Each structure stands twice: as structure tokens, then as C-alpha cells.
Amino acid sequence: MAQVYVSIGSNQQREHYILSCLDALADNFGELMLSSVFESEAVGFRGDNFYNMVVGFTTTLGVAELSRALKAIEDVNGRTRTGPKFSGRTLDIDILTYDQCYGDCEGIQLPRDEILKNAFVLWPLAQIAPQVQHPVTGQSYAELWQAYDRTRQVLWPVAFSWRGQDFSSPA
């Protein structure tokens, strides 16, 4: 079993698509570790604000097979891949880490570089995996978040619940 962390984002019908994604992930992978949901401005383009979070789970799937499964969840939720790379979307699910794999892992670059670049990835990851070490830097996600320049991106936690569980308060 591999420990996986994925980022989830949406800026179209945000609550609907985040909830749908969580249902699909739970149906496919079982128990989930959930960060708070954060709202942030779009990065790289002008668009509606995003909801973002990080989810952890275990899987027996390999990296490529997991990537295909996550793309299928995106597709079922109306994700279109014909527009510009930086544009609005119903649902975006990215593999952040897969165990401690790094480099080219079955055609996917891991860990995802957004961990070190984007507050909307690092803050929620530091919430649910504070002591886990980044596969390349060796620093824990809590240490990386503590050192992060928080003036680079503005984000804030939002009230959110799923299956009766409230997870809107940052730890």
C-alpha cells in the first residue's frame, strides 16, 4: 500500500465538485485524510476564486494507474481539457506525492513542484501531514509551511463539511 497525497481544486460550482470528488475518492480508496478547504484567487490567469484542499489516502494502484483513475474522476465531473492550461475548471486533481517517490515515476514527475510554490497546496498538506518529509528537500511539510513567504499568495479557510464531518478550521 502506498501513501498518496493529492490536491483538489475547483473554481466552477466549487462546493458541488469538491463534494463529488470526495465521494468518488472515498468510494475508490476508502478512508480519507482531509485538510481544511481554502479559498484563493486564481493563479496564472484571471478567473473566479478557487476552493482547494489536500486529501491523503492509501492505494495499491501504481502511479500511472492512479493518475488514470483520478483523470476519470475529473472527466465524470465535467473536466474539459481543450482550453488553455491555466483556466477555470470544474475539478482538478493532482498527485502531490506517492510514498517517497521522486523524479520520473511511471511518466509522472514527483513530488509535484507546486508543493513548494503554492500556499494553497503547502498549507493544507502541512495540516494533514505535518511530520512527513518532502522526498527531495527532506524537510517536513510543517517546516516548509513555517518558512513559506505567506505574502506571495493570499488564501483563507472556508466553512465546509462532507458526510457530516466539518473540516473548515485550519490546524
pLDDT in tens, 119-132: 999 999 999 999 99
109: Cα within 13 Å, side-chain hemisphere: 4
Q: Could you tell me if residue 41 is inside a domain? A: yes
**What pLDDT score was predicted for residue 44?**
64
Phi, psi of 54 (to 5 degrees): -125, 140
- Number of domains comprising the chain: 1
Q: How far apart are CA 24 and CA 29, in angstroms?
A: 8
Give the 3-state DSSP-derived string for 43-54, with helices as H, strands as E and coil as C: CCCCCCCEEEEE
Phi, psi of 120 (to 5 degrees): -70, -5
> Is the pLDDT confidence value at 69 over 80?
yes
In three-state secondary structure terms, 77 is coil
Q: Could you tell me if residue 160 is inside a domain? A: yes
Q: Could you tell me if residue 161 is inside a domain? A: yes
Q: Could you tell me if residue 71 is inside a domain? A: yes
Q: How far apart are CA 20 and CA 7, in angstroms?
A: 14
Tens digit of each residue's pLDDT (9 = 90 or more) over 38-57: 998 766 656 788 999 999 99
**What pLDDT score was predicted for residue 85?**
55
| Spatial CA neighbour of 169 closest among 36, 23, 49, 28 | 36
Q: Could you tell me if residue 171 is inside a domain? A: no
Report, as an integer, the average pLDDT of 97-124.
Answer: 95
Which CATH number belongs to the domain containing residue 57 in this structure?
3.30.70.560
Structural domain range at position 38: 2-166
C-alpha cell at 69: 483513475
Q: How far apart are CA 71 and CA 138, in angstroms?
A: 29
**What pLDDT score was predicted for residue 77?**
67
| Spatial CA neighbour of 33 closest among 132, 145, 112 | 132
Which amino acid type is present at position 48? D
**What pLDDT score was predicted for residue 171?**
47
Q: Could you tell me if residue 59 is inside a domain? A: yes
**What pLDDT score was predicted for residue 122?**
97
Q: Could you tell me if residue 79 is inside a domain? A: yes
Dmax over CA atoms of the chain, in Å, equals: 39
Q: Could you tell me if residue 99 is inside a domain? A: yes
Structure confidence at residue 137 as a pLDDT band (50, 70, 90): very high
